[in-house]
Structure 1
Amino acid sequence: MKVIIFCGGLGTRIRDTSESLPKPMINIGNYPIIWHIMRYYAHWGHKEFILCLGYKGDKIREFFLNYRAYTSDFTLNFNKENKDIIFHNNHETHDWSVTLVETGLNTMTGGRLKKVQKYISQDETFLLTYGDGLGDINLDNLVRFHKMNNKVLTVTGVRPPGRFGELNSDEFGTVTEFNEKPQATAGVISGGFFACDYKIFNYLNDNENLIFENEPIKSLVKDQQMSIYKHEHFWQPMDTHREYLLLNEMYKKGNAPWMIWNK
């Protein structure tokens, strides 16, 4: 199943982490977050990717054009007539298909999705996500849920990570529990990780200012063509420098729930 990834946003809230890279290319450990996202989808058997490029898209193109050099140890024989490069790592990612599409510097998400319609076959179900969020969503269950409900769009609903300490107390005001960074105890938001039918393009137009999360989704809700797959476990965006540090700390400590390919 094809996976479309939004990779073109300006990422203004995380500029203090890196001014020279687009957000999808900011590293978690040794690899950019876009690699982690793609590796996660590939673990579930989804290895055909379509990347919607925009802001600093050349950095993403450069990474994939030189993918083996970025991700492998290799030997260069300068003193021989044969100048072939010898790569020493055998990555499981070599069977991926990656289509990189220029969708415009200032194009909004709805416009970006419309621009890659030509790479999706009619009546094809595909997956859609953002290039800056990680989770341990069971993608088999997501796809199964989507097909069972027979809607145009299924969104993964998550509880957002709390940004402040949460205090619980008894009736006398004595604190009984303190969680430094808890999951929100109420309310569900979109965590991305969408499953879509081709009919989603009927809700889009060629306006580059079209925001997928606004008019198209509101129309889908009005037509009762959107369902929610609830996910109660790990989900974490990388919108800020603090969240960048959090994800890298999880990676460093070997406590990265999204890295299920290592289990």
Structure 2
Amino acid sequence: MRAAILCGGRGTRLREVSETLPKPMVRIGDKPVIWHIMKIYASHGIKDFVLLLGYKGDIIRDYFLGYYAKQVPVTVDLSSSGSERLTFHGNQTEDWRVTLVDTGDAAMTGARVRRARDFLGDDTFCLTYGDGVGDVNITSLVDFHRDHGRTATLTGVYPPGRFGDLAVSEGAVQSFNEKPQVSGGHINGGFFVMNANFIDDYLDDREDLVLEVDPMKRLTEKQDLMMFPHNGFWQPMDTPREHKLLNDLWASGRAPWKTW
């Protein structure tokens, strides 16, 4: 199974922390937040990733192209040429497969997923945002999705009330209200699971297609979207305060999302 990660946003509320990095590359401890997200999935056996790049995507691309060289000792032989110039000392640090897809600098979330269609295959896939971590049980999430047989599943969480509010009946999402003024129930925490037909049936290539607006509302109208309830830890990294919170948790050695 593949996991697609949305990595194209500008992270305007986080500019106090970094104006030069795309949000997925902002660090928690000594690793970018996207590494933490990938470790969560990998701890559940999902190690095939498709990164949907946009704003400053070259920084993410360069990070993974040079990932191995930055993790182990390396000898550079300047007297030779070709493949023998570099000698790596040590074992592979992560057994991941990472596909880097440029989905456009200004594309919205729905368009990004649609533009990666050729790399997501014809099987069920996971999808999440490149700026949020949690101790979500991915294995149980995928099992839940396969059992209910609908096209899509999102993970419902209970954090701050500035995100999308969900009305749910018997597990099915009845309405999807993105960014309401007041929220008292579950909200959209990402960590989606989608059947492959979701891309063909609910998405198109419009630059301004927002995943959380028309596609989600159409899914709810067709009773084709289910919610996996997660009552544990979940935290986005949208603001400097949230960045500090996550770094403090990591530094304490008690980061709840560290499931590996």
Calculate the TM-score normalised by the size of structure 2: 0.86
- The corresponding residue for 2:136 is 137
Moved over 4 A (4+): 77-83
In structure 2, distance between residues paired with 1:209 and 1:140: 32
- Number of aligned residue pairs: give it: 237
Alpha-carbon displacement from aligned partner over 1:136-167 (angstroms, at most 9, x marks no partner): 0111110111111111110000001479xxxx
Equivalent in the alignment of 2:173? none
Q: Pairwise mapping of residues 90-129 of structure 1 onto structure 2 (< 5 A)?
A: 90-91=92-93, 93=94, 95-122=95-122, 124-129=123-128
Residue 25 of structure 1 aligns to which amino acid in structure 2? M
Q: CA deviation at 1:118?
A: 1.1
Amino-acid identity (%):
47
CA contact (8 A) 2:5 2:49 kept: yes
Tell me what 1:218 maps to. 217
Q: Do the aligned partners of 1:25 and 1:34 also contact (CA within 8 Å) in 2? A: yes
CA shift for structure 1 position 20: 0.8
Equivalence map 1:203-242=2 (5 Å): 203-242=202-241
* Structure 2 equivalent of residue 248 of structure 1: 247
Structure 1 unaligned spans of 5+: 164-183
For residues 125 and 230 of structure 1, the distance between their equivalents in structure 2, rounded to whole angstroms, comes to 20
> How far apart are 1:86 and its partner, in Å?
3.2
1:3 maps to a residue whose letter is A
CA 1:249–1:222 in structure 2 vs 1: closer, same or farther (change >3 Å)? same
Equivalent residue, structure 2, for 1:188: 186
Separation (CA, whole Å) in 1 of partners of 2:210 and 2:134: 23
Q: Which residues of 2 match residues 56-95 of structure 1 at below 5 A?
A: 56-70=56-70, 72-76=71-75, 83-88=85-90, 90-91=92-93, 93=94, 95=95
Note closer, same or farther for the CA distance 1:211–1:22 as it changes in structure 2 (3 Å cut).
Answer: same
Gap runs ≥5 in structure 2: 163-181
Distance 1:79 1:6, change over 3 A: closer
2:77–2:86 Cα contact (<8 Å) kept: no
1:177 aligns with none
For residues 16-55 of structure 1, the aligned pairs below 5 Å read 16-55=16-55
TM score, norm. by length of structure 1: 0.85
Structure 2 counterpart of 1:192, one-letter code: G
For the residue of structure 2 that corresponds to 1:260, the secondary structure is: coil
| Counterpart-to-counterpart distance in 1, 2:92 and 2:118 | 33
Asked whether the 8 Å contact 1:161–1:236 carries over to 2, the reply is: no
**Alpha-carbon displacement from aligned partner over 1:172-195 (angstroms, at most 9, x marks no partner):** xxxxxxxxxxxx994110000000
Kindly provide the CA deviation profile for residues 87-146 of structure 1, in whole angstroms up to 9, marking residues without a partner as x. 34652x1x2111100000110000000001111233x10000000000001111101111
